[in-house]
Amino acid sequence: APSREPPTIRRLEESVVNRIAAGEVVQRPSSAVKELVENSIDAGATSISVIVKDGGLKLIQVSDNGHGIRYEDLPILCERHTTSKLTSFEDLQTIKSMGFRGEALASMTYVGHVTVTTITDGQLHGYRVSYRDGVMEHEPKPCAAVKGTQIMVENLFYNMVARRKTLQNASDDYPKIVDLLSRFAIYHTNTSFTCRKHGANKADVNTIAASSRFNAIKMVYGVSTARDLMEIVASDNNPSRAIFDMDGFISSANYLAKKTTMILFINDRQVECTPLKRAIEVAYSATLPKASKPFIFMSIRLPTEHVDVNVHPTKREVRILNQESIVNTIQDAIESKLMSSNSTRTFHMQT
Ligand code: ADP
Ligand code: MG
């Protein structure tokens, strides 16, 4: 008979706790890239370049021209819960930066090898230092550096056998990384982005600052996509329903694709919102006879206190107040846009 003795409860070792938590924050190479690029954006970078080897498993390198990291901060840079962006829980209500958990860099040091090279304004040289399990492996070494920060993550998931195996069997994360950077590039029109495979001389994302969102989309997704886009706006200022502003571009009846491309930013954060995506797909299939899957770029702005950014370790989702009402308003706006463009002649954007 099975023993009725309850098993003993033990405290997990800190290193185990840290590695488990890290696996949630950094789920795959593309999530590491997202964290690093968001750090560059938070650092005010206007130029961000990414190099990837072996789908990110061998190497991810993100270089920016942002404000850099102070020498004095390097010892705790990769400790868990160290951040320059948040001080009190209440700050979360008004936070503008992408980051706030102080966990991304730490996580990467628990599941990979991290090397940071950084220089701050007015310094003659920069510093380089490597990290493991949250701590510096040696004193920061002075080195030549150009403005900003470069972070290198090598051998991601070297110590997580199952994760590494599933990723190696799955298709390479590189297309996901290219997709991610393409999305950032059309949102941050004042920042230039490049992304290439290690050793390749051709970049797969290569943008310069664009004069408009439309031109940015054209640069990244091509003339043939841009040609079939219509500008759309929607808003609601009624506090009893919702308060929001939306602007974006949506594909017209001429656009043909098998898969929905949904690029969504809520208060500057690149996020996913499945109910909104579904509602938009419904609007398309209800309005357009030959229901092609749409291309959607959408930026939604809400009062910061209406957005809960702290719902997911990867910050992939946010929770918003009055979501249903907002989704309905946007769905209606899209339906009437599609209807009017369908009944008039095919509309082509002027560039
Ligand atoms: P968070 O972004 O949530 O603060 P991270 O672990 O991503 O946490 O980063 C920790 C801190 O390291 C940041 O708060 C920031 O001060 C600094 N940092 C990280 N990346 C960069 C960068 N590219 N440029 C300047 N500072 C950076
Ligand atoms: Mg961060």
Q: How far is Cα 135 from Cα 150, in angstroms, rounded to an integer?
A: 18
Strands 295-301 and 261-266: parallel
Q: What is the CA radius of gyration of the chain?
A: 22
By most ligand atoms within 8 Å of CB, the mutation choice from 34, 35, 39 for ligand 1 is 39
* Residue ranges lining ligand 1, Cβ < 6 Å: 35, 39-40, 43, 64, 66-69, 77, 83-85, 99-106, 149
Please give the distance, rounded to the nearest whole angstrom, from the Cα atom of residue 82 to the centre of ligand 1.
9
Check if the interface score ipTM surpasses 0.95: yes
What pLDDT is stored for residue 137 in this prediction? 98
Q: What is the pLDDT of residues 254-296, one digit of tens each?
A: 998 889 999 999 999 999 999 999 999 999 998 887 768 999 9
- Strand runs labelled E in 218-330: 229-236, 244-251, 261-266, 269-270, 295-301, 307-308, 319-320
Ligand number with the minimum distance to the CA of 40? 1
| Phi, psi values for residue 317, rounded to 5° | -120, 155
What pLDDT is stored for residue 317 in this prediction? 85
pLDDT at 350 exceeding the cut of 60: no
Mean pLDDT of the chain: 93
Query: Would you state the structure tokens that stand for residue 75, as one six-digit string?
Result: 């010892």
Query: Would you state the structure tokens that stand for residue 342, as one six-digit string?
Result: 């369908």
Q: Which residues pair with 295 in a beta bridge?
A: 261
Cβ atoms of 130 and 143 within 8 Å: the answer is no
pTM: 0.93
Lowest mean pLDDT, pick from 129-138, 187-196, 302-311: 302-311
Q: What is the pLDDT of residues 128-149, one digit of tens each?
A: 999 999 999 999 999 999 999 9
Please give the distance, rounded to the nearest whole angstrom, from the Cα atom of residue 39 to the centre of ligand 2.
5
Domains, the chain, in order of start with CATH, read 14-206 (3.30.565.10), 228-343 (3.30.230.10)
Please give the distance, rounded to the nearest whole angstrom, from the Cα atom of residue 296 to the centre of ligand 1.
30
